Amino acid sequence: MEIEKEQKIIDKLLGIEDFKEIEVRVDDTDLMQVVHSNKYLNYFDDGFISFTQKLDKDCGALHKKGIVFPVRKVEIEYLQSATFGDKILIHTKVTKIGNTSMTLSMDCYRNTKSRDTLLVKGTIVRLVMDMTNNKLIKITDFFSDII
Amino acid sequence: MINMFDFIDRILKVKDTIRIKVRFNDTDAMGVVHFKNYLVYFDDGFVNFMRAVENPVEPAVKSGIVFPVKKIDIVYEDSAKFGDYIIVETSIKELGERSMTFHHEIYRESDKTLLADVECVRLVMDLNSQKLLEISKFFLEFV
């Protein structure tokens, strides 16, 4: 692929933001009555799927073809707690495109009108992998049709 | 009276291990353990560690002392599958005034492959007063 085209894909990816709202389920919470630390990783999945839909990528259909998005690294900082009944807004943004990895920031807000309570600051590194040959796919190749 | 420095020195040397069998519903459509479930595994590692240092979590929780997670860094190196036994090795990397940083290494038992390397910062909070406890005081009260 031409360097110029690659750069256009990267620039487009870096400019995309997605907002996905989810509702906290009762079994997301633990005996402290707050959302358990591991549940935010499910929310990150929801945010990522919504992000890919924005780029006309259907994760379910891709999965059936053997294309998956393994997680390489997660960093989470927990700032505030959410509880049952809260609505959470996941703000997804690509922060870095590597050769075979993409880094996304996944910040979760309590979804009130002001959206001023940041609950969790997350960063996740994902790969794109073809399970039919167990090889990683270059990110710009995978997203080559978005421009 | 316990010497706090001796105690800290002692607790920093403790390395606890717990063995966990991967359940069917830990896995996802990729056929591997979903990445969120490693947080459940090292929760188990934390609980077992606290038991090993004679500071069990269960009675503390019953009296309103809880251990919120402040920060997690995980690097995923390989995947576990249904039927694997995994080993969680837990130690304390750092004791702050009001935080403790745990290091968890999660291995596949059969070939000792490192699956995930984790740093997890936990606090100690008294739900009755909604205040964070000093780590040294917490350990001294319970030891």
Q: Which domains does chain B have, with CATH numbers?
A: 4-142 (3.10.129.10)
Q: Tell me, what's the pLDDT at B2?
A: 64
Strand partners, B125: B66, B132
In B, which residues are within 8 Å of A81 by CB distance? 68
In A, which residues are within 8 Å of B30 by CB distance? 63, 68, 70, 131
Q: Tell me, what's the pLDDT at A10?
A: 97
How far apart (Å, rounded) are the C-alpha atoms in residues B91 and B45?
9
Q: Is B128 on the interface with A (CB under 8 A)?
A: no
Low-confidence ranges of chain A (pLDDT < 70): none
pTM beyond 0.80 = yes
Low-confidence ranges of chain B (pLDDT < 50): none
Is the Cβ–Cβ distance between A144 and A10 less than 8 Å? Answer: no
Nearest by CB to A78, from B36, B43, B69: name it: B69
Q: In chain A, how many domains are there?
A: 1
C-alpha distances in Å from residue B83, one per residue of A70, B43, B79: 20, 20, 12
Nearest by CB to B35, from A32, A39, A41: name it: A41
Q: Tell me, what's the pLDDT at B1?
A: 56
Q: Tell me, what's the pLDDT at A32?
A: 87
CATH number at residue A122: 3.10.129.10
How far apart (Å, rounded) are the C-alpha atoms in residues B35 and A73?
10
Domain span at residue A91? 3-146
Q: Tell me, what's the pLDDT at B137?
A: 86
Q: Tell me, what's the pLDDT at B141?
A: 74
Enter the ipTM.
0.91
Residues of A with CB under 8 A from a CB of B: 31-32, 37-39, 41-42, 63, 68, 70-78, 81, 131
